[in-house]
Chains A and B, each alone.
Chain A
Amino acid sequence: MNLAPEILFTVAGFPVTNTIVTTVITDLIIVSLVLVFRFTMSLYPKMFQNIMESVVEYFYDSTKDIAGSRVSFIYPWVLTFFIFIFIANIIGLFPGFESIRFHPLGNLSEEGVPLLRTATSDLNLTAAFAITSIVMTHFYAVKYTGVKSYIGRFISFQMFPIFLFVGLLEFIGEFTKIISLAFRLFGNILAGEVVLGTMSSMMAFGVPIPFMMLEVMVALIQAIVFAMLTMAFMNILTEKH
């Protein structure tokens, strides 16, 4: 398996990769679920509505416990990250991923490339999510703490040069946040796919099952980790000091 997603075809110069296909499928699943929820929603919930409400309420309450009144703008980001990453991770475990092959034009003689690949095993997606998370964190930091306070977090001449150095570390830390968020998710999901692929190639029946169960947990844990780290970063940077 390559680190880079495989390009299936191009549309007006835009490379459509197998992870883009999976991203669109994930989007469709999420939007379908949300629309079904929206139009079947009632004051007396049934099973599906209970699940959706429980997820939303859990993240809302968790964010409120940590961020207090700033919950209103933090939790939608946290929850969107969670929902997308979790569903993308889970559908990557479905049959057909990796096994359904696609022959890009002009390469009919080759083995072909997987038509579907877990969206979160593409660094483009994880880096995009990480950048979005950090950019929005800084946007809210400026909006809710003010420009002066925001800059003061990175440049301070108190106890010169100690706080200036601390500010520099903080500044570098913001970039490491992006890298850690992006590569943690990318690495975990890609490694899971590699492990599953290896196990399936060794013994197709039975052997991959424990690893698939492990991957279900990884899918959930990675989604929670990304969402909770976003919540923590947003909470820390939007707090007035």
Chain B
Amino acid sequence: MEIFNLLGLEPKLFIAQIVNFIILFFILKLFLYKPVLQMLEERNKKIKQGLDDAENAKKVLLDAGNEKVNILKDAKVNADKILENTKTSAELLKQKTSEDAKKQAVDIVDNAKKLAKDEFDKANRQVGEISVDLSKKIVSKILSEIFTEEEKNAVLAKAVDKIERGGYEKTTN
């Protein structure tokens, strides 16, 4: 007991310190430890989420890059194909157009030739008719001075016939 008095051990103070500590323990547990651990856990979750998101974003970016490259590659292939097809089509079109033009030109020339021939024949026929008519008139005038009317008609008919036949023969030749 003497030593306890010397060291100042006093049951009331001792119990008061225990009670004080227990109260402080519960206050700290309620207001410090629990909130801090919850906060740390929440922060850890957020950090993990953030890192996961960043990782996913990186992956998505990488995929997007790869996809971009693939799309560009495909686009280039398609563009080359389209260009090739266009060239082929243009070539074919050009060829066809050229052939059509040639054909049309041949047709036009043929038509022109035909028309020219027809015109020539028509003109020839008209010239023949005119020359017959003119010859008839000249011969009639000349014969009217030499022959009678009857003789004149007979000669004239004969001459006209000869002229006509000669003109036709010339035309057909």
Contact = CB atoms under 8 A, between A and B. Distances in A.
A43 to B, nearest CB: 6
B interface, size bucket? 20 to 34
B64 to A, nearest CB: 31
| Main secondary structure on A side of the interface with B | helix
Interface stretch (A120-128, A150-158, A203-211, A217-225): A120-128
Interface stretch (B6-14, B91-99, B106-114, B141-149): B6-14
Given A14-B16, A17-B13, A30-B28, A3 B21 contact: no
Nearest to A126: B17
Given A3-B8, A41-B35, A41-B39, A77 B25 contact: yes
Contacts of B18: 128, 131-132
Contact of B20 (A4, A23, A43, A123): A23
Contacts of A4: 5-8
Contacts of A53: 36, 39-40
B28 A43 contact: no
Contacts of A114: none
A233 interface: no
Contacts, number: 101
A40 to B, nearest CB: 11
A144 interface: no
Interface of B: 5-10, 12-18, 20-22, 24-25, 27-29, 31-33, 35-37, 39-40, 42-43, 46
A30 B6 CA distance: 31
B168 to A, nearest CB: 121
21 contacts: A2-B8, A3-B6, A17-B8, A30-B24, A34-B31, A35-B31, A37-B32, A38-B31, A41-B35, A43-B39, A52-B36, A76-B25, A80-B24, A122-B17, A123-B7, A123-B8, A127-B9, A128-B14, A128-B17, A132-B21, A132-B22
A174 interface: no
Given A13-B12, A43-B42, A52-B36, 7 more contacts: A23-B20, A30-B28, A41-B39, A56-B36, A75-B33, A84-B24, A122-B8
A52 B6 contact: no
Contacts of A31: 24, 27
A38 B21 contact: no
A24 B22 CA distance: 14
A128 B31 CA distance: 23
A27 B37 contact: no
B142 to A, nearest CB: 137
A234 interface: no
| Main secondary structure on B side of the interface with A | helix
Contacts of A57: 36, 40
Contacts of B20: 23, 27
A60 interface: yes
Contacts of A123: 7-9
Contacts of B32: 34, 37-38, 52, 56
A207 B31 CA distance: 41
A79 B37 CA distance: 13
B21 A60 contact: no
